[in-house]
Chains A and B, each alone.
Chain A
Amino acid sequence: MQPVGAVVPLRVDIAEKIFRSAQGVSVTALKDLSFEVRQGEFACLLGPSGCGKTTTLRILLGLDKQFSGSFQLPEGGSNRIAAVFQEPTLLPWRTVEQNVRLALPKSLRTKDLDGLFDILGLAGMRSLYPAELSLGLARRAALARAFATEPAVLFLDEPFVSLDGRTAERLRHLLLTVWSERPTTALMVTHNLSEALMLSDRIIVLAPRPAHVLGLFDVPLPRQYRSPQVMSDLLRSFHQKFPGVT
């Protein structure tokens, strides 16, 4: 029994998720997938492409209700969830700022967003339409939208795919900066191991289809100490623990 006002972690316990194709073929995407993300922790869901990571995220976002099992979203604070999708998914007919404000609850619609836009380097682009932004900038706007809502939990679905290496690297640093200023429980889906090692407190390693948890890899080191040297050590110990996972 949780005391009143206490913070509940993100608890996932999905028994099974089956996709049925139009031809009647059924594919088991997830099987006995259970894990927990502690309050205020940045966790990564790491697994090969097509193993069911995005499916898991869609279930947690409430976009897919056809599954057996249960999950518990973090409570306390705002109780809101936020998501950064694979595509920026900004409304093309609204400016960057309107896109961010529309995601806010009515009571926060007029809040001061200067700080957030400044950190993300979007200060001069608030009045632009998404079509006028590059993919990298649009991704930043999607990050701004997610953090502006002050969510109790933030889900990120490979938010840096299809960016060139430098832009992706810069965006990862920006994500860390925003996140450390506005800490929230976060779960990010990725198939990029070095990205996971750089960003997360804990990596939840998934096995290929049907996805289940292969094991956990904790990164207890504060992020500012994760130099290239440390990262390669982390990489080595990760490979020792999970041979065969790239």
Chain B
Amino acid sequence: MTTPDTGDRMRGAAADMSGQPSPATALIPVLTVALSLFGLCLLWAFAANAWQSRAFPGPGKVWQVLLREAASGDLFYHLGATLSRVAAAYVVAMVIGSVIGVLLGSYRGADRFFSPWVILFLNIPALVVIVLAYIWFGLNEAAAIGAVAVNKIPNVVVTMREGARALDPSYAEMAAVYRFGPLDRIRHVLLPQLQPYLAAASRSGIALIWKIVLVVELLGRSNGVGVQIYVNFQLFDVAAILAYTLAFVAVMLVIELLLVQPVEQHATRWRRRPA
């Protein structure tokens, strides 16, 4: 330290010194996950073996279907279609839901007035919204994505409203005194405070959205994982249904590991590191 000072100490110093865990210990969680998934596959294989049926294929059969669909390009075409719908609906729902949620959390009068609306929309079944969207706006992409977003928006509103209520006014006052511009306020004062709530809304959001996207596709689209599952349901092809489902789950897992977790780690880098 440049200033030897008895009164002021650096609490972070110790944390900086404690090095990364050795590679062997870092591998343990990964190995545990791999082992756990392998165990599940093994259990599945045994069960499929014991109860031989076309309706319950083993992991080997599903893997073959997966390879076949991948080779023909169908898998990536449908996965891509579903994934882009999930992404579009997610962005629309997060942006609109966050804006509404923060406004409701900040203005008590507005919150009192609109709270019943939020409860109403929270309780409208996803299927009803989808059917109505297709009837009112036609069987098109905008109606599909809009319907999914409308299903998710009330959830985001509720989470972000809690976030806005938990905002610390002293930061806003500091920003007012130092005349922060509107963009600086959003980027440096508002969003970092809302980050845990955004993360929570995102996590629960993605999982919910992709399930609803499948229903939307099944009811009124001509491509996507939902359509494939419907077609294979008609053909009673359980292996294909499982292949598509697992492929999409795998994609979401990769997104979680490669996108969500690094972003979250970056966003929370300022929290005091454990010593």
A contact residues vs B (CB 8 Å cutoff) = 61-63, 80-83, 85, 87, 89, 91-94, 102-103, 105-106, 121, 123-125, 128-134, 136-137, 140, 145, 149, 163-164, 166-167, 170
Contacts and interface: CB of A to CB of B under 8 A. Distances in A.
A89 B192 CA distance: 14
B7 A80 contact: no
A102 B272 contact: no
Contacts of A82: 177-178
Q: Which interface class (under 10, 10 to 19, 20 to 34, 35 or more) fits B?
A: 20 to 34
Given A124-B1, A124-B3, A170-B7, A131 B178 contact: no
A132 B12 contact: yes
A148 to B, nearest CB: 10
A167 B173 CA distance: 27
A62 B192 contact: no
A76 to B, nearest CB: 17
A81 B176 CA distance: 10
Nearest to A170: B7
Contact of A91 (B2, B3, B188): B188
Interface of B: 1-3, 5-12, 15, 170-171, 173-174, 176-181, 184, 188-189, 192, 195, 267, 269-272
A123 B2 contact: yes
Given A61-B177, A85-B170, A137 B270 contact: no
A89 B8 contact: no
Given A129-B270, A134-B10, A166-B6, A91 B178 contact: no
B9 to A, nearest CB: 5
A128 B188 CA distance: 16
A136 B5 CA distance: 10
A214 to B, nearest CB: 28
A132 B272 contact: yes
Given A61-B177, A105-B179, 19 more contacts: A63-B176, A80-B179, A82-B177, A87-B170, A93-B267, A94-B270, A121-B2, A128-B12, A129-B269, A129-B272, A131-B11, A131-B12, A131-B272, A132-B10, A132-B15, A133-B11, A133-B12, A136-B7, A170-B5
